[in-house]
């Protein structure tokens, strides 16, 4: 039996894209991602839009059939044939609370649908009792059960999505940018809800987001993606305070600081150039076209993720300690 709840090893997700008449090119959305998550732990996954974060989460849950690699849950290999038996163990909270809820269903039906699919009640009274308990768990009340999703605010809709994910009693949830579409004040409430649920139920999260400070607050460890690969991974405070990959250093230097004096004294590290097209990736290290430390070795070989000490991993030929 594995000591980890979830293990992802060399996960790949390539999509065929039409690039001309009778011609297709493989878009490498995820290209060799590996990490593990323990019981009750949160791993933060950050990176620019289009780097493959959401694809990682959906491929783990087999919403996309992976091109390569493997995913193990409690040591057991997840395949196309056995994924159904793990649906209750692994769930997802989607990014957009407006499009992820069926407008023709009441809240009771949305939250109760997983109970129906997995036959988790014996009587209608028991079903209703479970729905009310789930709504209460995420900060809603029984009166909300009779209403439709369009009657709620964005934050309330996201709470409905969380209740739906919790309905089957999962041990692992992919949180796919669950607060990015919400106002800042509402973001804090939803983040607090996630933390309370984790403390109460012991759920593990893969928390996908853009905001580094939100991810630092939520996560014990953070992994940084760039064009389908993890380029740096470390405990959350370590990676924020002492980033060693040039890409992560640039991201950290761009975090706004409320103190004007500190902000003026800070050294900003701008990124040069544009993100390469995933359909036409540069040779070697994908970041080398924007890196001021790039050498011929960076163009020849793609660096593997290696440990530099104390759980800090980096994929770079010239890490800047």
Give how far the C-alpha of residue 183 lies from the chain's centroid of Cα atoms, to the nearest Å. 19
Question: Low-confidence residues of the chain, pLDDT below 50?
Answer: 1
Give me the CATH number covering residue 265: 3.40.50.300
**Angstrom distance (rounded) from CA 113 to CA 90:** 16
Model confidence, pTM: 0.92
Domain annotation covers residue 126: no
Domain annotation covers residue 21: yes
Domain annotation covers residue 127: no
Domain annotation covers residue 112: no
pLDDT score, position 263: 67
pLDDT score, position 1: 45
**Angstrom distance (rounded) from CA 145 to CA 113:** 13
Domain annotation covers residue 96: no
**End-to-end Cα, the chain, rounded Å:** 37
Q: Are 123 and 152 in contact (CB under 8 A)?
A: no
pLDDT score, position 8: 97
**Angstrom distance (rounded) from CA 36 to CA 221:** 10
Domain of 55, in residue numbers: 6-89+170-314
Give how far the C-alpha of residue 182 lies from the chain's centroid of Cα atoms, to the nearest Å. 17
How many domains, the chain? 1
Domain annotation covers residue 189: yes
Structure tokens at 107: 């809240």
Domain annotation covers residue 34: yes
**What backbone phi and psi angles, to 5 degrees, belong to 150?**
-65, -15
Domain annotation covers residue 105: no
């Amino acid at each position: 039996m594995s000591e980890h709840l979830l293990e992802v090893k060399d996960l790949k997700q390539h999509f065929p894209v039409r690039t001309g008449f009778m011609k297709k090119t493989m878009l490498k959305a995820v290209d060799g991602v590996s990490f593990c998550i323990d019981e009750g732990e949160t791993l933060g996954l950050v990176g620019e839009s289009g780097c493959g974060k959401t694809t990682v989460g959906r491929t783990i849950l087999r919403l996309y059939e992976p091109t390569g690699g493997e995913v193990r849950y409690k040591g057991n290999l997840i395949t196309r044939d056995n994924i159904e038996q793990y649906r209750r163990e692994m769930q997802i909270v989607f990014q957009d609370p407006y499009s992820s809820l069926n407008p023709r269903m009441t809240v009771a039906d949305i939250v109760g649908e997983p109970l129906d699919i997995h036959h988790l009640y014996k009587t209608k009274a028991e079903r209703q009792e479970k729905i009310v308990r789930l709504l209460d768990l995420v900060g809603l009340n029984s009166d909300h059960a009779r209403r439709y999703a369009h009657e709620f605010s964005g934050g309330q809709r996201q709470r409905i999505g969380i209740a739906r994910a919790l309905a089957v009693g999962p041990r692992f949830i992919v949180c796919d940018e669950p607060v990015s579409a919400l106002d800042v004040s509402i973001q804090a409430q939803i983040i607090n809800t996630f933390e309370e649920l984790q403390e109460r139920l012991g759920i593990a999260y893969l928390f996908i987001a853009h905001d580094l400070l939100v991810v630092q607050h939520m996560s014990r460890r953070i992994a940084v993606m760039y064009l389908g690969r993890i380029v740096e991974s470390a405990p959350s405070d370590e990676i924020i305070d002492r980033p060693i990959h040039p890409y992560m250093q640039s991201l950290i230097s761009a975090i706004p600081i409320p103190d004007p004096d500190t902000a003026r004294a800070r050294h900003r590290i701008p990124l040069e150039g544009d993100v390469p097209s995933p359909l036409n990736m540069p040779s070697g290290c994908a970041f080398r076209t924007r890196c001021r430390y790039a050498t011929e070795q960076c163009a020849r070989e793609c660096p593997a993720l290696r440990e530099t000490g104390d759980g800090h991993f980096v994929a770079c030929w010239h890490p800047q300690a």
